[in-house]
Structure 1
Amino acid sequence: MKHLLDAIKKRESRRDYLRFPIEKEKVAKLNELIESFNDKNNFTIKLVVEDDELFKSFISSYGLLNGVRNYFALICKKNDYRSMEMLGYYGKLLVLEATNMGLSTCWVGGTYDKAKAKSSLNVKDDEELTAIIVVGYSREDKGLKEKITKTLTKRKTKDVKEMYYTNEVVPENFINGIRAVQKAPSAMNKQPVYFTYNQGKVIARVNGNNIFNALDLGIALLHFKIGSQTPNDWYYEDDHYSLIL
């Protein structure tokens, strides 16, 4: 799990991509991971390579993305928030594995041609194209445009103590988990996931069911598990996820 923690520390969102193709060996490895994730969940993740149609126009990407030719498509049934949460979890796991392959990524909520995407991906009427994750090679150093975009979209990160509640002295691995969650991407960087700790049990929840909260929760669950280095898994009960440290 240490290689995933290293990827969390190293990974940053990139928006300007080189037109180098992803090697066949890496595509095969990513597809192998995707197949294993799809098999045990009620969602579908697809990897599309060498296709620039979704982000071709300036209007579609608002000029924030450039050179995109490869992406993961995250699909599940409409209003299936548990599956959306797991798309956040496993989508982020793909991002970290891609990072360790030397690839860059960027989560995209809506700056692409959604109608064209749903058609080309054969998204059914009862399904939701929950998110797109751009993947590929980026320049080692950011260009001026990408630096400006990052500055404009950067927001303050919550302090560790703002992200959880407890009446107890928490163990070090809990704090390490929260610190990893600090680095988790979230819609508008709102960091909506809140944790509680009680006698070794961790609870994670968000207020309100919507696509972005669901994705943010799933991503945060993965970051906490990796940061805390626990072998235990999250499980869903009532209206929240629980984990025993």
Structure 2
Amino acid sequence: MDRGIKIMNFTKPITDLIKERTSVRSYTGKPLENDVKEELKHLLENNSFNNPFSKFASNVRFELITMSEFDPREKRRLGTYGVIEGAQDFIVGAVEKSKYDREQYGYILETIILAATDIGLGTCWLGGTFNRSLFSKKINKKSDEHVPAITPVGYWDKKNSRDVAIRSSIKANKRFPWSHLFFEGNFTNPLIQEKTAEFSTLLQMVRLGPSASNQQPWRIIKEVDKNIFHFYIVYSRSGNSQGYNIFRRLDIGIAVSHFNLSAQELGIQGNWFIDEPDILGSENFLYIISWKGDN
């Protein structure tokens, strides 16, 4: 891992939290308890831990926005109606525009979401189904910033069957097989799970990550006989798909967070770098970042 990357302190194994995290769309409406709110605010204010993208991207900031901050007219314009019910608080962030701004934002917000999961809170990535201008106004977005995504945060209403129905309709629990996501040497040679040894868990945690419309756009190439992994996203050159490309950059930030946090927990040492390799079959993919193991 990059020397100097601050390791998040979770009370549960990160691999358990990744498995436990789910998209919660129904909340009890109960306000956050004061100690929980203070812990969450402290986390948001101290999110400046280094990550694989921090030296390539600009600053990110987050705020906890409560429903009481919206007037009745604004509440009707949140843009989350029919998607989120009962949420009383939202985590809203802004990132300064830069080449890797969305990847950095995705990494940090997913780390915050896993920390929220650790203290018993529900969350749900929202990249499109919210009133971006309204939430941007609430956190005083500057001209050189944008708000890529937000998440409600609160207590899950497990008695509400909506979540189960929605997850079933979008097949949220379905994941592509290894052979569809991970490769060795090039994009035509699937990576055999049994050959990945200690890295199997890291890749499995990537596989379990959330993504926009559950598209799972991440693809990883392992170099032959080397512990070097190159991270890509499925990328469309068509103008009609640019919106999906934007969300996929958030998704790869999530994937990198799962890989990196799991490596830290398991004591697997390595370094992140950006240096696009010449790999056969990469025409329909966008290179993002690479990781090299120390051993």
Normalising TM by the smaller chain, what interval?
0.7 to 0.9
Aligned equivalent of 1:184: 209
Please identify, of 169-178 and 185-194, the stretch whose mean Cα deviation from structure 2 is larger: 169-178
Letter in 2 for 1:244: K
1:7 and 2:44 aligned: no
Q: Contact 1:234–1:241 (CA<8 Å) still a contact in 2?
A: no
CA distance in 1, matches of 2:131, 2:60: 21
Q: Which string of whole-angstrom CA distances, capped at 9 and with x for unpartnered residues, describes residues 54-88 of structure 1?
A: 9843882241211121111121134x241221111
Q: Contact 1:76–1:83 (CA<8 Å) still a contact in 2?
A: yes
Identity in percent:
27
TM-aligned CA distance change 1:211 to 1:75, over 3 Å: farther
Aligned equivalent of 1:118: 136
Aligned equivalent of 2:253: 218
CA distance in 2, matches of 1:211, 1:17: 28
TM-aligned CA distance change 1:3 to 1:100, over 3 Å: same
Please identify, of 1-10 and 194-203, the stretch whose mean Cα deviation from structure 2 is larger: 1-10
- CA deviation after TM superposition for structure 1 residue 241, in Å: 1.6
CA distance in 1, matches of 2:18, 2:251: 15
Q: Which string of whole-angstrom CA distances, capped at 9 and with x for unpartnered residues, describes residues 142-176 of structure 1?
A: x2333222222225421112111115873322221
Aligned equivalent of 2:87: 68
- Aligned mate of 2:273, from 228, 236, 242: 236
2:148 is paired with a residue whose SS is strand
Q: Contact 2:26–2:158 (CA<8 Å) still a contact in 1?
A: no
Larger radius of gyration: 2
Letter in 1 for 2:178: V
4+ residue runs over 3 A deviation: 38-41, 49-59, 167-170, 207-210, 230-234
Q: TM-score, normalised by structure 2?
A: 0.73
- CA deviation after TM superposition for structure 1 residue 111, in Å: 1.7
CA distance in 1, matches of 2:165, 2:77: 17
Letter in 2 for 1:144: S
CA distance in 2, matches of 1:153, 1:48: 28
Q: Contact 1:232–1:243 (CA<8 Å) still a contact in 2?
A: no
Superposition CA RMSD, Å:
2.6
Question: Would you say how many aligned residue pairs link Structure 1 and Structure 2?
Answer: 243
Q: TM-score, normalised by structure 1?
A: 0.87
Aligned equivalent of 2:39: 29
TM-aligned CA distance change 1:211 to 1:4, over 3 Å: same
Residue ranges of structure 2 left out of the alignment (5+ in a row): 1-9, 186-190, 236-241, 277-287
Q: Contact 2:30–2:88 (CA<8 Å) still a contact in 1?
A: no
How do 1:44-59 residues align onto structure 2 when only pairs under 5 Å count? 44-51=61-68, 53=70, 56-57=75-76
- CA deviation after TM superposition for structure 1 residue 37, in Å: 1.8
TM-aligned CA distance change 1:244 to 1:238, over 3 Å: closer
How do 1:71-110 residues align onto structure 2 when only pairs under 5 Å count? 71-78=90-97, 80-110=98-128
- CA deviation after TM superposition for structure 1 residue 232, in Å: 3.5
TM-aligned CA distance change 1:235 to 1:64, over 3 Å: same
CA distance in 2, matches of 1:59, 1:136: 17
Q: Contact 2:210–2:251 (CA<8 Å) still a contact in 1?
A: yes
Residue ranges of structure 1 left out of the alignment (5+ in a row): none
Aligned equivalent of 1:128: 146
